[in-house]
Amino acid sequence: MSFSLPEIVLHKEEQLYLLLDGGQIAQLERRLFEIADTPAYQPLYLYAPWESLREVSPCLVVATEPLLCWYAAEFQANSGYLLASTLALLPFAERLRGWIEAQSPYGSRILLKPAQPEGMYRLFQDDDPRFWQDITQVWIPVREQLQPRSKLIWWHKTANLPTAAATKLPPQRENAPLRLSDAQWQRLGEVSWLNSLDTLYRHMEKWFPGRLAERSDPAFWVAQWATRAYQLAFQTERDLLLFFNVLGFLGDAWWGSEEYPILTQLLTVSSAQTPSQRVEQAARWAEQHVSPQE
C-alpha cells in the first residue's frame, strides 16, 4: 500500500524524523540498512528493562530522502509517523524513551507504544508539555472517521509555543511513568475501539460477506451496530462477535419488530443471566433460524 507524503515545511534548525514501529514492520533495523547504507537511528527499547523487546522496538530515524520514499511506497497504516525537533538524534531518542511506559488515571501501568500513530495522535491533540517538549511539528496518518476501513488523512500540528515545546518541565521522579489525564485516557480508548471495529469488519467479511454486500456503506453499518451492541452491555470482543453473528445469520430488518421476540428479549432486556450468557444464547438461536443472505 502506497500513501503520499504530506507537505513538509521545516524551519531553521529543525530536523525531520521518522518514528517507526518495529512491531508493525518486520525486522525493521535490517530494513533500514537495506534502504540506506548508514541509517542514523536509535531503537527506543535499547536499555533495561526493555532491551529484550528490541526486535519490536520503535525506532527514531533521521528522515533522509531514500527512507521517506520507502516509507511512502511501503506504507502501513500503523507503521509510524513523522515529527520534527531541534534536538539531535541521541538526545531526542532519550527524550522519547520517557514515553515508553505510562500510568492510567487509575494507577495501572501500560506500554504507551510511542510509534503508534492513532494513539499518539490522541495524545498530541492537547498541548501537554510532557509530549510536546522539544518537538516542533508532527505529521500523523490517522483515520478520517471512527470506522473500519476509513480513509487515512495526514494530521499536522505545530507546537503551541511557549505552552508546549518551550516549557521546562520539573524533574521527573526516576522510573516514574507518565501519568495520563482522564481526557487522554478516554481518547486512547478510541484506539481499542477502532481495533474492535476492524476485527468485527474482518469477521463479517469472512463469515457473512453477503450481509456487508447488502449495505451501501458497510463500514458505517458495522460501526453503528457495534456502538449499539456496546450500549446494550455487550462490551467484550467475544460478546461483540456473537452479537454480529446474530446480524450475520438473520440480518437487521427484524430489529424493533415483533418478528423474533426471543432475540429482542435476550439482547435488550437485563436478566439474571450475564450479558455474555444472553448474547451467546441469542447467537445459537439465530444460527438455528438462519435467514438467507442476499
Residue pLDDT, tens place only, 176-194: 789 999 999 999 999 999 9
Report the C-alpha gap between 53 and 61 in whole angstroms. Answer: 18
- Confidence band, pLDDT 50/70/90 cuts, at residue 3: confident
Residues 50-73 have a mean pLDDT of 96
How buried is residue 23: exposed, middle or buried, by Cβ count under 10 Å (0-12/13-18/19+)? Answer: middle
Of 89, 88, 77, nearest in space to 21 by CA:
77
Return the bridge partners of 153, or none.
Answer: 142
Q: What was the pLDDT predicted at 160?
A: 87
3 state DSSP class of 153:
strand
**Which of the 8 DSSP states describes residue 26?**
T
Q: What are phi and psi of 124, to 5 degrees?
A: -85, -5
- 58 CB-side CA count, 13 A: 26
Q: Is pLDDT larger for residue 294 or for residue 92?
A: 92
| Mean pLDDT value across residues 108-129 | 95
DSSP H helices in the chain? 28-35, 65-73, 89-96, 117-124, 129-132, 182-207, 209-213, 218-231, 237-250, 261-268, 275-288
Residue 287 has pLDDT above 80, yes or no: yes
Q: What is the DSSP-derived secondary structure letter of residue 258?
A: S
DSSP structure class, residue 52: G
Asked if omega into 162 is within 30° of 0 (cis), the reply is yes
Burial of 190 (0-12, 13-18, 19+ CB in 10 A): middle
For residue 173, the model assigns a pLDDT of 44
Place of cell 501500560: 110
Region 217-233: mean pLDDT is 98
Residue 7 has pLDDT above 90, yes or no: yes
Q: Is residue 246 classed exposed, middle or buried when 0-12, 13-18 and 19+ CB atoms within 10 A define those classes?
A: buried
Q: How confident is the model at residue 290 (pLDDT cuts 50, 70, 90)?
A: confident
The 3-state DSSP composition of the chain as helix, strand, coil percent (nearest 5) reads: 45, 15, 40
Residue 283 pLDDT more than 80?
Answer: yes
pTM here is: 0.87
